[in-house]
């Protein structure tokens, strides 16, 4: 496209460069935008369906989802599976768009959540917490391979992509349908040490091209598109343009969707994001065994001072948690925050959370991203 010097006299809409669709095998996501799965209860049917209605992929955070449903008398894992199926069904009544689930492999009931997602016909399952992806012993990989549901892994480095794809290729004779690469600026659990997360040389911009290169070999071998999706600190339409130019086929965003009316967390949780200053966004230790990024508050100060040691463990939700020695119960803390009791918990948040100033509707946010993308890819004025 050639643009004359007098770009201001041209109707910008004539020049619009729209966000391109994203293909995951035969599945078309009209907008190359995933709303990151956020547990406990931050992304449920409300948020995910709103994103799906705009053409993105809405993702339900599954960890501890049963805790949000009225007590059903079931065991913890059964309650989660029932609640997840109900939440997917609810989302389906709110949108004809695409709905996925996000499952941390560190959960004790990850296999039950995978089966519940497949039973409920989720369009996509995203598996997180990398090191466990090498040995999902109780997952029926054949069921996953033959299902219409796409399987996507979330990783943080080119090295883990290399190791994981080699392992899946040799062990299962298939590879994931797509890869989300989550960089050091992401919210929630991060696949980086505290030091690496603070190191300005460790950047998503450098990791994406390395992953794209590795994946290209598997795209050739399997003769299928395996899109790479960039996550962690993506905030504007210009950011999306930058990652697409680096070889990503889409982006995943979490933090920006917290500051929306449709986000399923309490207003207090959203307010914690809106009120946060840059220095309030900190990296904390988590019983999951990975560092996490969150908004500091008195509860987290108490954790640091050893005042929150749990006295019992109701749910045994994490494979990695030794509750007798863990500094706090993360399920309870995240559930409390979701409900608005931030004196008994805390809000996970990405590095950019301090930039959120007001609540918007998902439709407004997505329009802003589309406009920002379009502006960023317009040829420069002469």
Ligand X SMILES: Cc1cc2nc3c(=O)[nH]c(=O)nc-3n(C[C@H](O)[C@H](O)[C@H](O)COP(=O)(O)O)c2cc1C
Strand partners, 101: 60, 125
Q: Choose, by CB under 6 A, the member of 68, 151, 231, 332 that binds ligand X.
A: 231
Give whichever of 16 and 203 is closer to ligand X, judged by the CB atom. Answer: 203
Minimal distance, residue 23 CB to ligand X, in Å: 21
Stretch that binds ligand X, among 35-43, 166-174, 197-205, 305-313 (CB under 6 A): 35-43
Give residues with Cβ within 8 angstroms of 356, minimum separation 6.
255, 256, 258, 259, 273, 274, 276
Distance between first and last Cα of the chain: 14
Give residues with Cβ within 8 angstroms of 343, minimum separation 6.
298, 299
Which 137-176 residues touch ligand X, going by CB under 6 A?
154
Give whichever of 215 and 272 is closer to ligand X, judged by the CB atom. Answer: 272
Give whichever of 104 and 116 is closer to ligand X, judged by the CB atom. Answer: 104
Give whichever of 299 and 348 is closer to ligand X, judged by the CB atom. Answer: 348
233 binds ligand X (CB under 6 A): yes
47 binds ligand X (CB under 6 A): no
Minimal distance, residue 57 CB to ligand X, in Å: 12
Give whichever of 226 and 295 is closer to ligand X, judged by the CB atom. Answer: 295
185 binds ligand X (CB under 6 A): yes
Stretch that binds ligand X, among 11-19, 226-234, 281-289, 314-322 (CB under 6 A): 226-234
| Site string (271-310) toward ligand X, x via CB under 6 A | ----------------------------------------
255 binds ligand X (CB under 6 A): yes
Tell me the C-alpha to C-alpha distance, in Å, between residue 286 and each of 45, 188, 232, 304, 321. Answer: 26, 10, 18, 11, 9
Distance CA 197, CA 220 (A): 33
Minimal distance, residue 376 CB to ligand X, in Å: 18
Minimal distance, residue 179 CB to ligand X, in Å: 13
Distance CA 323, CA 311 (A): 8
226 binds ligand X (CB under 6 A): no
Could you tell me how many residues of this chain bind ligand X (CB under 6 A)? 29
Which 341-360 residues touch ligand X, going by CB under 6 A?
348-350, 352
Minimal distance, residue 188 CB to ligand X, in Å: 3
The answer to whether 254 and 38 have CB atoms below 8 angstroms apart is yes
Strand partners, 28: 23
36 binds ligand X (CB under 6 A): yes
Minimal distance, residue 175 CB to ligand X, in Å: 19
Minimal distance, residue 40 CB to ligand X, in Å: 8
Minimal distance, residue 231 CB to ligand X, in Å: 4
Minimal distance, residue 267 CB to ligand X, in Å: 15
- Tell me the backbone φ, ψ of residue 46, rounded to 5 degrees: -60, -55
Stretch that binds ligand X, among 168-176, 228-236, 281-289, 356-364 (CB under 6 A): 228-236
41 binds ligand X (CB under 6 A): no
128 binds ligand X (CB under 6 A): yes
Give whichever of 215 and 229 is closer to ligand X, judged by the CB atom. Answer: 229
Q: Which residues bind ligand X (CB under 6 A)?
A: 36-39, 42, 61, 63, 102, 104, 128, 154, 182, 185-188, 231-234, 252-255, 258, 348-350, 352
């Amino acid at each position: 496209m050639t643009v004359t010097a007098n770009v201001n006299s041209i109707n910008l809409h004539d020049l619009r460069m729209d966000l391109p669709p994203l293909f995951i095998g035969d599945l078309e996501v009209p907008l190359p935008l995933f709303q990151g799965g956020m547990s406990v209860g931050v992304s449920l049917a409300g948020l995910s369906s709103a994103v799906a209605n705009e053409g993105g992929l809405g993702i339900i955070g599954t960890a501890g989802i049963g805790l949000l449903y009225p007590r059903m008398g079931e065991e913890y894992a059964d309650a989660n599976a029932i609640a997840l199926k109900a939440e997917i069904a609810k989302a389906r009544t709110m949108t004809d768009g695409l709905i996925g689930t996000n499952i941390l492999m560190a959960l004790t009931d990850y296999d039950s959540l995978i089966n519940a997602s497949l039973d409920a016909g989720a369009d996509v399952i995203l598996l997180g917490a990398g090191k466990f992806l090498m040995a999902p012993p109780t997952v029926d990989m054949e069921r996953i391979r033959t299902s219409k549901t796409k399987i996507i892994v979330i990783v943080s480095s080119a090295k883990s992509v290399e190791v994981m794809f080699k392992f899946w290729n040799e062990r299962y004779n298939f590879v994931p349908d797509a890869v989300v690469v989550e960089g050091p600026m992401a919210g929630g659990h991060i696949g980086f040490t505290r030091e690496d997360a603070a190191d300005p040389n460790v950047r998503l911009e450098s990791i994406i091209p390395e992953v794209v290169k590795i994946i290209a070999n598997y795209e050739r071998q399997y003769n299928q598109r395996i899109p790479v999706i960039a996550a962690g600190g993506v905030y504007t339409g210009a950011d999306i343009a930058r990652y697409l130019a680096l070889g990503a086929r889409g982006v995943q965003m979490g933090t920006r969707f917290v500051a929306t009316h449709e986000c399923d967390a309490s207003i207090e949780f959203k307010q914690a994001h809106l009120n946060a200053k840059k220095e309030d966004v900190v990296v904390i230790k988590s019983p999951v065994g990975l560092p996490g990024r969150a908004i500091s508050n008195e509860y987290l100060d108490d954790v640091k001072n050893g005042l929150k040691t749990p006295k019992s463990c109701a749910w045994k939700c994490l494979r990695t948690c030794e509750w007798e020695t863990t500094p706090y119960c993360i399920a309870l803390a995240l559930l409390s925050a979701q409900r608005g009791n931030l004196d008994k918990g805390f809000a996970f948040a990405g590095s950019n959370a301090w930039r959120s100033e007001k609540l918007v509707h998902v439709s407004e946010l997505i329009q802003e991203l589309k406009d920002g993308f379009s502006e960023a890819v317009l040829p420069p004025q002469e």
